[in-house]
Structure 1
Amino acid sequence: MASRADARRIVVGVTGASGTPLAARCLRMLREIDGIEVHLVASEAARTTAAYEFDGPFEDLTALADVCHDDAALDAPIASGTFETGGMIVVPCSMKTAAGIASGYSDSLLLRAADVTVKEGRRLVLVAREAPLSVIHLQNLTRLASLPGVSICPPVLSYYHRPESLEDMERHIVAKALQQLGVDVEGFARWGEAS
């Protein structure tokens, strides 16, 4: 892994929405890429959900990041716009988190980091995870999608790349989301390239 001085920093937020395996897949895929320094912040609800969805202790997930920040630490570097990053991905992104970002309500480090990402004009990717979506959810997501640099990238399954396993599907979903941050993942099958 590159040092802080020459790495491209990516902030990864993990919320309590179902989808902890996607967060783990994202962190593993980012570790495979030289020159990326991962800063992780997870909500308390993310830890609760992980107990149902993730094999092993939550520390196994946090160990995949270069730096792990406490969600209550509003004085962490990622809370400031002067801490330069290549953007942020929230995977999975709960509707509570989407509502907080949409309204500028930054009462946690995860929400503050997302708010900073928006105000600094950096890329913010929200792997929005909920079904069915209510009108309130759709209004919040529409508001967010209208902001420059914000991408709503729900974990929608694709089949044209001929997935053979759950891992293939997770890798495709995460690679598509990371593409929104300008992060290219080796082996990502784009339309027309899949065999």
Structure 2
Amino acid sequence: MTDNRITVAITGASGAPYGLRLIECLLAQKQKVLLLISSAARVVLATEQNLKLSAAPQQAAEQLVDYFTQRGCVLSSQQLNVYGKEDWFSPVASGSAAPKRMIICPCSTSTLSALATGSSNTLIERAADVVMKERGQLIVVPREAPLSTLHLQNMLQLSQLGVTVMPASPGFYHQPQSIDDLIDFMVARMLDHLGLEQNLVRRWGYGNAKESF
């Protein structure tokens, strides 16, 4: 039986629109999203998207369902579950129950450091550690500039452990006309690596038409 579950974590780096658009596309493809949001991420979401999420997981889930519904996404109440940062009884906290796929978007440099050193002080860190130890798929999307030597060393360490490091660096060969086009470029690459279909951005050498979910 195919597991359509995926853990998504949003941390405190700039780039909240990437995370929200990714979730929207996952929900549109009927994926079940297990969402983790750090305290710093809530600040960034409010700053960058004017989306003020409750610290209570159930209330945050209801807010997000309303947000995505207003954007035209049709989803069931079972498709999106939000967990608190110390919800140690959530599925993502155990290798016996966690999804085999996880993406942290955006991924702060402090989260990179925690993952590279095996820290599990928060549920996000524990969930990522579970995916790594279970030999699942972990993608991190850092958004920082410039990168210090420590940042680069942490990325190298994670890459050597099998983690896909995908910096939020949109391309321009698709001739973007808006910020949304730049966001979609990165989300399209994320979907590619998750093995999911995407019609957000035309592929190199395959015509010029752009479709959208």
TM-score scaled by length of structure 2: 0.83
1:40 corresponds in structure 2 to 35
SS in 2 for 1:189: coil
Work out whether residues 15 and 43 of structure 1, in 8 Å CA contact, stay in contact via their aligned partners in 2: yes
Larger Rg: 2
1:127 corresponds in structure 2 to 141
1:137 corresponds in structure 2 to 151
Work out whether residues 174 and 201 of structure 2, in 8 Å CA contact, stay in contact via their aligned partners in 1: no
Find the partner of 1:27 among 16, 20, 23: 23
Q: 1:182–1:61: structure 2 CA closer, same or farther, 3 Å change rule?
A: farther
Distance 1:136 1:147 in 2: 17
Work out whether residues 108 and 142 of structure 2, in 8 Å CA contact, stay in contact via their aligned partners in 1: yes
Residue 75 (structure 1) aligned with residue 85 (structure 2)? no
SS in 2 for 1:81: coil
Residue 10 (structure 1) aligned with residue 12 (structure 2)? no
What are the ranges of 5 or more consecutive residues in structure 2 without an aligned counterpart? 54-59, 69-78, 209-213
**Could you tell which deviates more after superposition, 135-144 or 172-181?**
172-181
Alignment RMSD (CA, Å): 1.8
1:112 corresponds in structure 2 to 126
SS in 1 for 2:32: strand
Distance 2:151 2:158 in 1: 11
- Per-residue displacement from partner, 1:146-190 (whole Å, max 9, x unpaired)? 112x10011112111122211111111011022222122234322
Q: How many residues align?
A: 189
TM-score scaled by length of structure 1: 0.90
Work out whether residues 172 and 189 of structure 1, in 8 Å CA contact, stay in contact via their aligned partners in 2: no
Shift of 1:16: 0.4
Distance 2:63 2:153 in 1: 32
SS in 1 for 2:20: helix
Shift of 1:42: 0.6
SS in 1 for 2:140: strand
Structure 1 runs (4+) deviating above 6 angstroms are none
Q: 1:191–1:7: structure 2 CA closer, same or farther, 3 Å change rule?
A: same
What are the ranges of 5 or more consecutive residues in structure 1 without an aligned counterpart? none
Distance 1:23 1:159 in 2: 20
Q: Percent identity?
A: 37
| 1:170 alignment partner AA | I
